[in-house]
Chain A
Amino acid sequence: MSAPALESLASAHQKSSRQRRLVSVLLLLPLLIYTAVFFVLPIGMMLYRAISNPELVQAFPRAVQALEQQTRSDSSNLPGDAVFEAVEQDFMHVENLGVIGEAARRMNYENSGYRFLITATARRYQWPANQQPVSGESPRARLTAIDPRWSTPELWEAFERASPAYTSYYLLTALDLERTTQGIQRVAPDKRVYLDLTFKTLKIAFVVSVLCLLLGFPFAVLLVKASRPFQMLLILAVMLPFWTSLLARTTAWIVVLQEKGIVNTLLLKLGLIDQPLPMIFDALGVYIVMVHILLPFTVLPLYSVMKGIPAHYMRASGSLGAHPVRGFLHVYLPMTLTGVGSGTLLTFIVAAGYYVTPTLVGSAREQMLGYFIAFYTNTTVNWGMASALGLVLILCVMAIYLVAARLVGIRQIAGLK
């Protein structure tokens, strides 16, 4: 073929492959948009809350600006009159109650009691008809007359700490650190809880994944080799937890494992024990129930990989003189590694996020990170803290995923060889 003919063939080939790529991207576009809008965006907004600190900026715009602009010339460590004036202006121009309420909540994180300070002051400025008129010659005098804490340096230090639009407060607290005058330091020992909690969560998830693997691997092998009717029975045994409601399963376990429950009554009647065993509302109960619930996540990927392994490999290794155990270790196991990796990783990631089950069947010591995230979201409505803990969990799980991916081979996990 001549050179120009070759070139036109090459460009035609490139054009058609570009077209094919374009078509595949267009086919994927709905999925990409869906993932972006309903997955990436909400999670991004939640993570943004971990560093966003808008409460004081929204409620006290003038005061925050005045604090930024002033220089500390006063030796008493209190801000100048311009700041007090600005604070008063902010109180007199409150848009809606919610904004002041939020600022009060944020200030309360710095020191209990500041919530009442903010709301009481706001009430005095907003509803003068119900209260005594605010007396005093200057804004400073008036504010101090309402509550003497307005003239304490501690309040203004707290105000300055809480005012920047973006803060590291939540992230630092999630790592048991705090910002003091000497820089970033670990918090007092009795407040150190989140790092321990994170390790405990990852530990429980890891133990559950390993137990699921130890139980699930032989089960998956059996599933592959079983005869048709028995195979159906085994699949049912694995899938039934999937099809039952979470609460029904958990409550059933409580009934089975509790002090006067089925297992204890049986063992007592058989005379094997004389005191009921504590099997629920402690760590053992958490492991038992979580393994039961998460076993399908390990078994099914393993099964799908093992189904594709031809039976004659093991027979061939036997015929070449290998002991069955050696054959298993050197021939069978490496071929199932993809399934092991994906099944264990899936189980681990799901287990790390669980909190309903450990709360129902465990003691307070088995609480996992998810419980605290739910606690901060629902009970104290501290979404900054919830987001910070969520970010810590996401980063830990991603880090573990990347390490596992390197060990097992990320392409292998995705099933690509």
Chain B
Amino acid sequence: MSSIFRRTALVCSICATTLLASHAVQARDLTAVGFGGATQEAFDKAYFKPYAAHSGKPVVQDTYDGGIAKQKAMVQAGNPTWDVVQMDENEMALACEQGLLEPLNHSKLSNAADIPADKFAPCGVGAIVWSEVMTYDNKKFASDGPKTWADFWNVKKWPGKRGLRKQARMTLEIALMADGVKPADVYTVLATKAGQDRAFAKLDEIKPYIQWWETGAQPLEWLSSGSVAVTAAYNGRIAIANQQGGHFPLIWNQQLYSMDYWTIIKGTPNLADSYALLDYMVSPKAQTAFAQAIPYGIVNAKAQAALDKQTLSNLPTAPANLENALLLDTPFWVNYEEDLMARFTNWAAK
């Protein structure tokens, strides 16, 4: 009799624990999502870890490769598993239009006064200003490396494979700049069919030499292993690779730069915590820590003013680096992305 009683008690306690445990699991931890790699490590060091220590609540991290499909699926299913997400400007605009993101309420951010108005968007606040630049292995082309995108096309003088992002955005602009179009005119030309044909024709010139990359880490890996000779890559990744013993110069001339945004997924259960995390991430202390971890532009004006000259000179937004730079045009890509991306993917597959 007592053994049956013991068995029943055991079963009941197991059931109770499972119910309690499952209830605890239902209250999801705050989830922050970035593009991974060295940038995510910098986020972790400057933002997520200090915030978790400061607020006592854990921050779960996730990564993705861009696009808005996951956000769309989450919101449509009514069960968002992400909270704060780093997004490209054009994808944020698309997602905002489709009602996938929470409209940002400035009054909830205590540090909003330090942030210039142009760093806010209807559905997000600026995260990083990044830049895509040309780079190569200094040891291979010691003194006389390529200096412009036109040089990138010169496979005779600088033989070897070329790395480019497997995406129409940025690659078509690079092709036009290599063909002699000034940064200020790139989008006017690209908006016309003739301009688009011109960009694809230019890319056809070096097509056999191009090795396409899809994640930010790949171009640096390929440079290190010698698979490619000259490549386009993100400036922050190059800087980190150099810190780890690489010798890859950054060619700031004709750089392409843009801003990524922090966004909040619509309908997230952790709305208050998401705003708290955003607020922490744009605070002067955190922003300074981030700028020193990886050289991407920050949005807090106070923090920017307090940076030392050395760090400032490595940022995409340093005045010297902005000469002859191309700011990526978001409204253009919101309109033309599908068409050009489809054409680009089809062209690359031939």
Chain B, range 291-350, C-beta contacts under 8 Å to A:
331, 334-343, 345-350
Known A260-B226, A379-B66, A381-B69: A372·B345 in contact at CB below 8 Å = yes
Shortest beta-carbon distance from B57 to chain A in Å: 30
Is A377 touching B69 in the complex (CB atoms < 8 A)? yes
Check if B99 sits within 8 Å of A98, measured CB to CB: yes
With a 10 A CB-CB cut-off, give which of A100, A259, A377 has the most chain B CB atoms. A259
Chain B residues within 8 Å of A363, by CB:
211-212
Name the residue on B nearest A109 (C-beta). B338
- A102 touches B (CB below 8 Å): yes
B107 located at the interface, meaning its Cβ lies under 8 Å from any Cβ of chain A in the complex: no
Is A97's CB under 8 angstroms from B72's CB? no
B68 interface hit (Cβ, 8 Å): yes
> Does B188 lie at the interface of the complex (its beta carbon under 8 Å from any beta carbon of A)?
no
Taking the complex as formed, is A101 at the interface, i.e. its CB lies under 8 A from any CB of chain B? yes
Does more than half of chain A's interface fall in helix, strand or loop, or is it mixed? helix
B7 CB-CB contact with A under 8 Å: no
Q: Are B166 and A364 in contact (CB under 8 A)?
A: yes
In the complex, what residue of chain B is closest to A378 when comparing beta carbons? Answer: B69
Chain A residues within an 8 Å CB radius of B68: 381
Complex contact B338–A380 (CB within 8 A):
yes
Asked, given contacts A364-B348, A381-B68, A381-B72, whether A108 binds B339 with beta carbons under 8 Å apart, the answer is yes
- A109, A196, A258, A375: the one contacting B227 at CB < 8 Å is A258
Number of interface residues of B (CB under 8 A): 38
Chain A residues within an 8 Å CB radius of B75 = 98
CA distance A407 to B42 in the complex (A): 59
Q: By the criterion CB–CB under 8 Å, are B338 and A108 in contact?
A: yes
Which residues from chain A contact B66 at a C-beta distance below 8 Å?
379
A312 interface residue, CB < 8 Å from B? no
Contact B331 A379 (CB under 8 A): no
Q: Which of the 9-residue segments A44-52, A66-74, A111-119, A226-234 touches chain B? A: A111-119
Return chain B residues, CB-CB under 8 Å to A382.
Answer: 338
- Is the CB of A367 closer than 8 A to any CB of chain B? yes
Q: How many residues of A contact B (CB 8 A)?
A: 37
A260 near B225 with CB under 8 A, answer yes
Is A259 in contact with B226, judged by CB distance below 8 angstroms?
yes
The answer for the CA separation of A295 and B100 in the assembled complex, in Å, is 44
Asked whether, in the complex, the Cβ of A380 is within 8 Å of the Cβ of B342, the reply is: yes
A281 contacts B335, C-beta separation under 8 Å: no
A251 → chain B, closest Cβ, in Å? 10
User: Is A96 interfacial (CB-CB < 8 Å)?
Assistant: yes
In A216-266, the 8 Å CB interface with B consists of: 258-260
- Chain A nearest CB: distance from B280 CB in Å? 29
Closest CB in chain A relative to B193 CB, distance in Å? 10
In the complex, the answer to whether A259 meets B227 with C-beta atoms within 8 Å is yes
Could you tell me if B341 and A119 are in contact, using CB atoms closer than 8 angstroms? no
Determine the chain A residues whose CB is within 8 A of the CB of B22 once the complex forms: none
Task: List which B200-230 residues lie within 8 A (CB) of chain A.
Answer: 210-212, 214, 225-227
Docked-complex contact A191 and B346, CB < 8 angstroms = yes
CB distance from B200 to the nearest CB of A (A): 9
Q: Which of A101, A258, A377: most chain B Cβ within 10 A?
A: A101
Beta-carbon contacts under 8 Å, A91-126 to B: 96-98, 100-102, 104-105, 108-109, 112-113, 115-116, 119
B72 surroundings in chain A (CB, below 8 A): 381
Residues of chain A within 8 A of B210, CB atoms compared:
364
Q: Are B98 and A101 in contact (CB under 8 A)?
A: yes
Q: Is A193 an interface residue (CB 8 A)?
A: yes
A367 to B212, CA, bound (A): 12
Residue of B nearest to A382 (CB): B338
| Contact partners of B343 in chain A: CB under 8 A | 191
**Nearest Cβ in chain B — how far from A204, in angstroms?**
13
- Interface assignment of B41: CB less than 8 Å from any CB of chain A: no
Report Cα–Cα, A259/B160, bound state, in Å.
12
Most chain A CB neighbours (cut-off 10 Å) among B97, B337, B341: B97
When distances are taken between beta carbons in the complex, the residues of chain A under 8 Å from B78 are: none
Given A193-B346, A193-B349, the answer on whether A112 and B336 have CB atoms closer than 8 Å is: yes
Contact A364 B212, CB 8 Å, known A98-B99, A380-B342: yes
Name which residue of chain B comes closest to A366, CB basis: B349
Q: Are A281 and B341 in contact (CB under 8 A)?
A: no
By a CB distance below 8 angstroms, the chain B residues around A108 are 335, 338-339
Determine whether the beta carbon of A96 is less than 8 Å from that of B99.
Answer: yes
Chain B residues with a Cβ under 8 A of chain A: 65-70, 72, 75, 94, 97-100, 166, 210-212, 214, 225-227, 331, 334-343, 345-350
Ranked nearest first, the 10 interchain pairs of A and B with the lowest CB-CB distance are A101-B98, A97-B99, A364-B348, A98-B99, A193-B346, A112-B339, A378-B69, A379-B67, A101-B97, A381-B69
Given contacts A101-B97, A116-B335, 4 further A-B contacts (CB under 8 A): A113-B335, A193-B346, A378-B69, A380-B341
Provide a sorted-by-A list of 10 A–B residue pairs whose CB atoms are within 8 angstroms: A101-B97, A101-B98, A101-B99, A108-B335, A108-B338, A193-B346, A258-B226, A259-B225, A380-B338, A380-B341
